[in-house]
Amino acid sequence: MKYIDSDLYWGKVKVKDIAKLVGTPFYLYKYDVINRAFKKVDNAFEGIEHILCYALKANSNLFILKMISQWGYGAEVVSGGELLLALKGGFKPEKIVFSGSGKSETEIEYGIKNNILLFNAESWKEILIINKISKKYKKIQKILIRINPDINPETHRYTTTGLKGEKFGIEWKKVPEVLTKTKLLSNVKTVGIHIHLGSQIVKKEPFIMCANFIKKFIKTAESSGIKLKYINIGGGLGIDYENDFPISDKVSGKKEKALTAKEWADTFIYKNNWRDKILIIEPGRFVMAKGGIIVTKILYKKRSFGKIFYIVDAGMNDFIRPSLYNAYHNIMPLQKRGEKQINVDVVGPICESGDFFAKNRNLPVQKNGDLLAILSAGAYGRCFSSNYNSRLRIPEILIKNNKTAIIRHKESANELINNQPIETIWIDLKGKQTTKFLKNKNLSIPFGKFSATGNDFIIIDNRENILKGLNLKNLFSYICQRKTSAGADGVIVIEKGEKKYRVSFYNPDGSTAESCGNGLRALALFLMKHNTLFSEQIIESKDGIHEIKFQGNKPKVQMFIFKKSFKEKTLLIDNKKIKGYIINSGVPHFVILGKNTEDPKLMDTAKKIRFNSVFEPFGTNVDFIKKIKTDKIMIRTYERGVEAETLSCGTGAVAAYYIARKILKLKSPIKVITKGGELIISEEKGKIFLSGEVKEVYQGVFNLADIQF
């Protein structure tokens, strides 16, 4: 991080340029900084068998988790939600450990069902519950006993976890008894111990005391016939917040140098003969903090009673460490305006006196509208954030190879209110409904189910705003479940558009899609059957304005090819070169020409392509096509959002059509054979149209009072 011509750069990226694109405030992370920090820890323990399990509590952004899991590391989780994110992020269950002093039975069951490596058990009662649930699933679950060694880590009182009087772990004097009792249980196996002293530990002495304690404990346990395979030393390694990219030598506060990863590792490795053990390490802050900053704008420069305040647009709800721990974070302006410094408080807009990022700090002179970077904010930022003062949570941006990507969008106003219905139903204590304090439109949602060459859709007319106040992502994920709900490849929502109709497409996982060719055809038939669409009309979607035409009762819809997106690309998948064509037909596709579209392994390959880094951050659909005749091709499609092969994909067929015209030199119209049936792509006056079979399956009503989502 450095200044070039007075502007702050992180690597080769000018931070101010990102602020212009996304606005402020936002979290900003750097891929290579995070990667180097992980390697420092991993390499520090070289020479002894170990598992590095990243502590998700530090930063649980799903894109970052995917990144870390691809590096081959494990995960430490402390809740069912973190376990869900770890699994979604690609961490292997055999590298996941579950900590936490208050695991619910539901969370324990979730871990056992997903075959995680082990639990860090914190009480005898918890061990009994793990045994009970393991017996239910006919498994033997590995556990570690978490010990409270009563060692003072000399850190902030709120981040101390290994001192007497804390809720964590089992009192060390009682552990031998617990080990003996656990041996009598049939469905748990104690394979080691776990000790975590606390967080942001910058001195060596607490770790030395911990290493000595473990050494003595192992000797005592194994002399009693208890063999320990794993030694989990937790995390807690602190970082040097103050001296991180200092802007001057006038930084206030103490200059205590934090331990390096190597110094931390040496404390445990070379002082003790643990070569027959597997060490588990759980770093969080150390690997994430320096890889992130917060960028915020000065709203007002204010003077009051002789004191100067920089009032910024980020608040304690975005980054609570200074308010909660009185933590020190270095602050740098994004643009230098000379060497002069003044003493200021950097404060946020929250209606709390504790809303601050720095007090009595010497900082360069700035003006209204200038931008500041709060450093070492990659850990305990977004995951610690809240909606206090009903503020929307801010976006997360990642820099990788001098390119940037949004890895979590700014929270929307709808997300703020979606889980809070203004109208509801009242239930008495006996479970009986007493009052319908609802207009039926919000309790009952009419819908139609339509099928278009194998793709089935739930279509909801929301022009009267019947979905207001509902959590659409959760609702649509529920609706699309097969066997337990209506089941569909997606949900289509009709809304009032600027001209006639606007439509939104939702995938089965609740995410949105830019377009859907088969969905547009199903929608056209739905509107015609409800006498709201006649002859030729238009429909608005994210990717543009679509013309709708009818041949009898069969609709055909205008589709798009964004030709600027078209390019040839060769990928390396499983050490094999795969050539294909990147193209956007409303949604991104990667089209591969081949001779054998029946190969059962194609979808395995497609899944790897779908998540390939070339298509980050949103991924791509993958299509395999082959020529059958001069006017006919066959296609198989792996669809993102569905995360599986689909029977038919309209945008995929259009992408395949373009490749067939461009590369195979076929002439229009072209028949595209999918597993769900035949689609026809044609051109009329330079416009591309998609047609094929569409049918109504049934109509129905969702009664929200009867379902949970």
The three state secondary structure string of 33-89 is HHHHHHHHHHHHCCCCCEEEEEEHHHCCCHHHHHHHHHCCCEEEECCHHHHHHHHHC
CA distance between the termini of the chain: 46
Say if residue 164 is in the same domain as residue 312: no
Residue finishing a domain among 537, 558, 579? 558
We report the CATH number of the domain holding residue 35 as 3.20.20.10
How many domains does the structure of the chain reveal?
4
Say if residue 314 is in the same domain as residue 266: no
- The answer for residues whose C-beta is within 8 angstroms of residue 658's C-beta and 6 or more apart is 561, 566, 583, 585
The answer as to whether 7 is a domain residue is no
The answer as to whether 148 is a domain residue is yes
Q: What is the DSSP string of 395-415?
A: PEEEEETTEEEEEEPPPPHHH
Residue finishing a domain among 502, 525, 558? 558
We report the CATH number of the domain holding residue 608 as 3.10.310.10
Asked if residue 514 lies in contact with residue 586, where contact means CB atoms within 8 angstroms, the answer is: yes
Q: Which residues on adjacent β-strands are paired with residue 568?
A: 581
The answer as to whether 14 is a domain residue is no
- Number of helices (H), then strands (E), in the chain: 17, 41
Say if residue 176 is in the same domain as residue 279: yes
The answer as to whether 381 is a domain residue is no
pLDDT of residue 234: 83
**For every residue of 99-141, which 3-state class applies, written as one string?**
CCCCCCHHHHHHHHHCCCCEEEECCHHHHHHHHHHHHHCCCCE
Q: What is the mean pLDDT of the chain?
A: 86
pLDDT of residue 705: 66
pLDDT of residue 426: 62
The answer as to whether 384 is a domain residue is no
Residue 29 half-sphere exposure, CB side, CA atoms within 13 Å?
Answer: 28
Say if residue 566 is in the same domain as residue 458: no
Q: What is the DSSP string of 485-507?
A: SS--SEEEEEEE-SSSEEEEEE-
Q: Which residues on adjacent β-strands are paired with residue 206?
A: none
The answer as to whether 251 is a domain residue is no
pLDDT of residue 427: 60
Tell which phi-psi region holds residue 375, choosing left (phi > 0), alpha (psi between -120 and 50) or beta.
beta
Asked if residue 691 lies in contact with residue 679, where contact means CB atoms within 8 angstroms, the answer is: yes
Residue finishing a domain among 539, 558, 577? 558
Say if residue 432 is in the same domain as residue 495: yes
Biggest CA-to-CA distance, the chain: 87
CA nearest neighbour of 651 among 569, 557, 567, 578 = 557
Asked if residue 647 lies in contact with residue 656, where contact means CB atoms within 8 angstroms, the answer is: no
pLDDT of residue 635: 92
Residue 682's alpha-carbon distances to 518, 559, 581, 661, in angstroms, are 15, 10, 21, 11
For residues 261 and 708, give the distance between their C-alpha atoms in angstroms, rounded to a whole number: 47
pLDDT one-digit tens code per residue, 606-652: 999 998 888 888 889 999 999 988 889 999 999 888 888 889 899 99
pLDDT of residue 473: 86
The residue segments making up the domain with residue 526 are 424-558
Say if residue 170 is in the same domain as residue 281: yes
pLDDT of residue 77: 97
Task: Kindly give the residue spans of alpha helices, DSSP state H, lying in 483-640.
Answer: 517-529, 602-610
We report the CATH number of the domain holding residue 337 as 2.40.37.10
Sign of the torsion angle spanned by Cα atoms 484, 507, 62, 32: positive
The answer as to whether 385 is a domain residue is no
pLDDT of residue 437: 38
Lookup: tokens for 580: 């294909």
pLDDT of residue 274: 67
SS3 content of the chain, % helix, strand, coil (to 5): 25, 35, 40
Contacts 24+ apart (CB under 8 A), 90-96: 90/65, 90/66, 91/65, 93/117, 95/51, 95/53, 96/53
Asked if residue 589 lies in contact with residue 621, where contact means CB atoms within 8 angstroms, the answer is: yes
Within its chain, how far is the Cα of 637 from the centroid? 25
Say if residue 577 is in the same domain as residue 610: yes
Task: Give strand ranges (E) for 334-379.
Answer: 341-347, 356-364, 371-374
pLDDT one-digit tens code per residue, 418-464: 666 655 556 666 655 444 433 434 467 889 999 998 889 999 988 88
Enumerate residue ranges in the chain where pLDDT < 70.
Answer: 150, 152-165, 169, 172, 224, 242-256, 270-275, 414, 418-443, 499, 530-536, 552-553, 705-709
Q: Which residues on adjacent β-strands are paired with residue 447?
A: 700
pLDDT of residue 561: 86
Active site residues: 351
Rounded to the nearest 5 degrees, what angle is found at the Cα of 551, between the Cα atoms of 549 and 554? 85
Tokens 């579950």 — which residue?
A: 98
Task: Give strand ranges (E) for 594-693.
Answer: 621-629, 632-639, 644-646, 670-674, 677-684, 687-692
Say if residue 619 is in the same domain as residue 471: no
Within its chain, how far is the Cα of 382 from the centroid? 11
Phi and psi torsions of 267, nearest 5°: -55, -35
Task: Kindly give the residue spans of alpha helices, DSSP state H, lying in 484-641.
Answer: 517-529, 602-610
Say if residue 616 is in the same domain as residue 538: no
- The answer for residues whose C-beta is within 8 angstroms of residue 360's C-beta and 6 or more apart is 252, 343, 345
Say if residue 145 is in the same domain as residue 232: yes
Lookup: tokens for 508: 């089965």
Say if residue 307 is in the same domain as residue 338: yes
For residues 702 and 709, give the distance between their C-alpha atoms in angstroms, rounded to a whole number: 12
Say if residue 89 is in the same domain as residue 223: yes
Lookup: tokens for 396: 């997360």
The answer as to whether 527 is a domain residue is yes
